[in-house]
Amino acid sequence: MKWALISVWDKTGIIDLARTLAGQKYSIMSSGGTGKVLAEAGIKFTEVSSYTGFPEMMDGRVKTLHPKVHGGLLGRRPIDDAVMTKYGINRIDLLVVNLYPFEKMSEQNMNLEELIEYIDVGGPAMIRAAAKNYKDVAVVVDPSDYPMITRSVSGTGFTPEDRLMLAKKAFARTAAYDAAISNYLYRLDADFPPVFTVQYAGGRTLRYGENPHQKAAVYGTRGVAGTEPVQGKQMSYNNYLDVNAGVGLVREFDEPAAVIMKHNNPCGVAINAGVFDAYIAARAVDPASAYGSAVSVNREVDGNLAQEICNTYVEVIVASAYSPEALEIMKKKNTMRVLRLPEKIESDEIRTIEGGVLVQRTPAYQEHWEVITDRDPTPDEMKALQLAWKVCKHTKSNTIIFADQKRTLGIGAGQMSRVDSAKIAIEKACGSLKGSAVASDAFLPFADTLEVAAQAGATALVQPGGSIRDKEVIEAANRHNMAMVFTGVRHFRH
């Protein structure tokens, strides 16, 4: 006789699975809420308490923690048959379990005493026991696997490969569950725990990493990590990095905006009354660099914009939506990845270093824009400063951004010297910088960068402030009749 033990919090699909098991001559064992659901559906089962001879107790905290349950899961066939027979332990051939929703409930405003009751003990113990004995016991923790279970029990049974795959998923689930509990408890009295544990599902192997000789994969089921093309080629490692950078920047804008990203830095950013004009303006900032770029827009792509995008070699396009006509047009570019702008996910930033990781969290913060020069920015200058500052926050340091009210004009990124960043931005400028605004991601340690920007035609500058030489820089700004604003917040990106 084959036995299946079913104990699930998420009841999705469980009635159909139980009916299949009963039809395939499985004897079903269950308890608590799962047993009630099976009884209401008219499915016969044996109560766990009836099998063990021990009642459920302590408000359900103890029901499956018993040698007759764990012996049925851990017993090796035929090594432990004699012991199992001696103590009346049934072989449990299939375990179907999912856990109390600790992760979901921990996001609610619950006190610790309430939340503790959502820490499953019996479930993980059974899962680990069955997974350890996977050669004899199939363990199912994910309702999406029920169709495969149905096919297996209705056909030739579980293959060794099936059993090992299910065991891998089982151990991954208990590891993630324990990690969620550990991280939550540590966060009660510390921003960062002494032991940092993280797990991401949905792993997909990529063709290669940053370069063809490197191996890579992407993990995650939400946000940019969970986004895959609606059409076009598979995403690459570098595509994901560029999309992540571009999406972060385009979300800064409420008005129609276009961001053209190359190697994790913007090479053109523009806003306009319509997204078509924004894209044209952004591409015109640096047309050469736009070749092979990742484009992000925060409005629907229609047929006209799709055609314009296809006129340039674009690696990836990310947009909030696409018209049917646009998708049809972009099918002609079968190597171009077409993505939908994902929902924003708040999470820690994690970067690997040799032997470990760096973890960074950006709490809610408020900038305080203060004019510290003799002259206030004009309304047009202020609009340009705001645009330049938004782009500056998403460009590699040291960075200097020149902009007008609607687009970036010159971008200098990733230089060891801030003055060199300014010179590069001026050299790459798409037109005259007369009357432009300039942004610096960190304070100006000397007046030299401001001097270079002023000579190029900039009339306003925004920076965090905080240098020991702020007074010298302010004096230089006043000499050039430049308006300067301090924000009080630095935006290094390394």
263-300 per-position pLDDT tens digit: 999 999 999 999 999 999 999 999 999 999 999 999 99
Closest CA to 70 of 54, 56, 52: 52
343-382 per-position pLDDT tens digit: 999 889 999 999 999 999 998 899 999 999 999 999 999 9
Q: Give the pairing of strands 400-403 and 437-440.
A: antiparallel
77-87 per-position pLDDT tens digit: 999 889 989 98
Predicted local confidence at residue 199, as pLDDT: 83
Amino acid at 187: R
Cβ count near 378 (within 10 Å): 14
Six-digit token string for 488: 């009080």
**Architecture field, domain 230-340:** 3-Layer(aba) Sandwich (3.40)
Closest CA to 221 of 239, 234, 202: 202
b/e string for 296-327 if b means 16 or more Cβ within 10 A? bbbbebbbebbeebbebebbbbbbeebeeebe
Lowest mean pLDDT among 71-80, 246-255, 300-309: 71-80
- The order of strands in the sheet holding 94-98 is 46-47, 26-30, 2-8, 94-98, 138-140
Domain parsing of the chain, residue ranges: 2-187, 230-340, 370-486
> How many Å from the N-terminal Cα to the C-terminal Cα in the chain?
62
Judged by phi (left if over 0) then psi (alpha if -120 to 50, else beta), residue 355 lies in left
Distance CA 369, CA 488 (A): 7
Are the CB atoms for 278 and 257 separated by under 8 Å? yes
Query: What average pLDDT does range 206-211 have in this prediction?
Result: 95
Contacts 24+ apart (CB under 8 A), 268-275: 268/407, 268/408, 269/387, 269/391, 269/403, 269/407, 269/408, 270/406, 270/407, 270/408, 271/387, 271/406, 271/407, 272/406, 274/299, 275/299, 275/300, 275/301, 275/305
Predicted local confidence at residue 107, as pLDDT: 85
Predicted local confidence at residue 51, as pLDDT: 84
Lowest mean pLDDT among 9-13, 302-306, 316-320: 9-13
Distance CA 104, CA 127 (A): 20
Amino acid at 84: M
* Cis ω before 98 (30° cut-off from 0): no
Q: How many Å is the maximal CA-CA distance in the chain?
A: 96
How distant, in Å, are the alpha carbons of 225, 256, 376, 423, 470 from that of 415? 29, 30, 30, 10, 22
- The CATH homologous superfamily to which domain 370-486 belongs is AICAR transformylase, duplication domain (3.40.140.20)
Asked if the domains 230-340 and 370-486 are classified in one and the same CATH topology, the answer is: yes
Query: What average pLDDT does range 406-431 have in this prediction?
Result: 96
Predicted local confidence at residue 1, as pLDDT: 81
Strands (E), 86-218: 94-98, 138-140, 204-205, 217-218
Phi, psi of 267 (to 5 degrees): -110, -5
CA 176 to chain centre: 16
Distance CA 241, CA 252 (A): 18
Query: What average pLDDT does range 163-188 have in this prediction?
Result: 92
Closest CA to 204 of 179, 240, 174: 240
User: pTM of the predicted model, to two decimals?
Assistant: 0.86
Query: What average pLDDT does range 165-185 have in this prediction?
Result: 93
**CA 412, 418, 419 angle in degrees (round to 5)?**
90
- Point out the residues that are catalytic: 132, 263
Are the CB atoms for 55 and 49 separated by under 8 Å? yes
pLDDT band at 13 (very low <50, low <70, confident <90, very high): very high
**Architecture field, domain 2-187:** 3-Layer(aba) Sandwich (3.40)
Distance CA 151, CA 11 (A): 19
Distance CA 489, CA 413 (A): 18
